[in-house]
Structure 1
């Protein structure tokens, strides 16, 4: 049993990686709303066409603005019959996003384990185009990644637009990337999601989290916090 295995007994189980794709849908993302919805459909199509990936990387999608919402619960992607739509507006409440992810992890990990899965440490991929508008978001992030919480996840952040490197570094434990100045927002969104998908494909093949070292159109940010 590896150190990253969670809530398992001694029986050998098929490994799975609880994966949370967290998207900023605040007001500044309104011009990109159609692209975000197209991206959601693209994610779905890729996962449906790659059952090995969707079986290993159990995916949940969470959006956040003033509040956070579970857009797609962690379930077999093959069973999903309809895709919800993103609707952008509101502020950029990081605390709501971190709290929602933590709550879902506490529900999803036991459920996956009960379903016969060998659950690896969760992975959170967060994409944002701005800075947090809520005071106290640092504490919410520290609660999410606290070593004292057995299920604390790995966190990878992607930023573009008005996102700041120092903030992206603070909300990541494994990798942080910011779009280069000449990268358009449309391209940044597409490349960030492509990076997430490539990471999931590589992770499914290796049966463990495999992080990208580079992302097209992005600069890698040195991390302030490492798990």
Structure 2
């Protein structure tokens, strides 16, 4: 039986923290449950998962649907699209059987690439390699989550670029149904001996085909990593960009800033999935709206900056030991009149 390889290439960068990555995990479970109810998919579909953040790895090798168990997705700093493409191409080289003079190989693989941001690595050579050697050997469907994905870069990879609007009720549930229907349709077509071309009908309430795309410019979010003073466990703070009005006696104008969107406990694996060569950038706290408490111990603020440049949590002003540098630090709370200070941010 000829196999139909299905590759899911999933963005697991910091901006996916919280609800997004949870939905992604639940979506994989739902897709696999659907495939297991279809006899054609059971016979032909083989699934692989490649995760990418600051680094990229195949966390599930190509395996038949009946043996596939959806993994817990990692989280890391960076959106290394080039590394993701390289991992995909390497996995195709190892796993996909090509036709020979003696026998037919696997059916043309289907690749679903999901991302919500801009690439942070040097991705040009990987795109060139994909387009010259692999693009004709696979059908790549790239999906941008929300309006902050770099659709222009995705258009360089494939004509099948979609934008997913997650603001509608049941949007993600319907999106997962569409992906499941797409895989099932492909499985049925190869079961009948002819591979389908193109994509199934889109639900235009949540998915739109991208015909033209401009490069993104503004950053959609900023992220920060801290450690709990009590347990030394790491956490991730996320802020989303928003415009807010500033009123004076004579006029009103819009100022761009970032509002707190969440603070999430993470594990040490985060650092393994973060690009160690990422750019060291900072942001001024005057642009940040809101301060979270610690998700581990409940301390009042998770945004206390040590002299070592790292964030930690504290409950009140006074002396505390930094879980990063292990030094005792005296903390005080700054007033609004003192202005902000620069703090090292994550890679997003």
TM-score for the superposition, normalised by structure 2: 0.52
- Structure with larger RCO (C-alpha < 8 A, sep 6+): 1
1:167–1:213 Cα change, 3 Å: farther
Aligned residues: 203
Partner of 1:139: 125
CA displacement 1:141-199 (0-9 Å, x = unmatched): 2212324x5973221100023113322212224x110124xx42895544443322211
Higher strand proportion (structure 1 or 2):
2
Decide whether the 8 Å contact of 1:170 with 1:223 is kept in 2.
no
1:72-221 matches, within 5 Å, as 72-80=60-68, 82-110=69-97, 118-135=105-122, 137-147=123-133, 152-161=137-146, 162-173=148-159, 175-180=160-165, 183-184=166-167, 189-207=172-190, 208-210=195-197, 211-216=199-204, 217-221=206-210
Between the aligned partners of 2:51 and 2:77, the Cα distance in structure 1 is: 12
More deviation in 93-102 or 32-41?
32-41
1:157–1:72 Cα change, 3 Å: same
Decide whether the 8 Å contact of 1:144 with 1:153 is kept in 2.
no
Higher helix proportion (structure 1 or 2):
1
SS at match of 2:31: helix
Quote how far apart the aligned CAs of 1:117 are.
6.6
Partner of 1:3: none
* Equivalent of residue 8 in structure 2, options 13, 17, 21: 21
Ranges in structure 1 where 5+ consecutive residues have no aligned partner: 1-13
Decide whether the 8 Å contact of 1:156 with 1:176 is kept in 2.
yes
Decide whether the 8 Å contact of 2:41 with 2:65 is kept in 1.
no
Partner of 1:4: none
Decide whether the 8 Å contact of 2:98 with 2:106 is kept in 1.
no
| Corresponding position: 1:41 with 2:29 | yes
Ranges in structure 2 where 5+ consecutive residues have no aligned partner: 214-348
Decide whether the 8 Å contact of 1:23 with 1:127 is kept in 2.
yes
1:206–1:62 Cα change, 3 Å: same
CA RMSD in angstroms comes to 2.8
SS at match of 1:110: coil
Q: Which has the larger radius of gyration?
A: 2
1:106–1:20 Cα change, 3 Å: same
Quote how far apart the aligned CAs of 1:100 are.
0.6
TM-score for the superposition, normalised by structure 1: 0.77
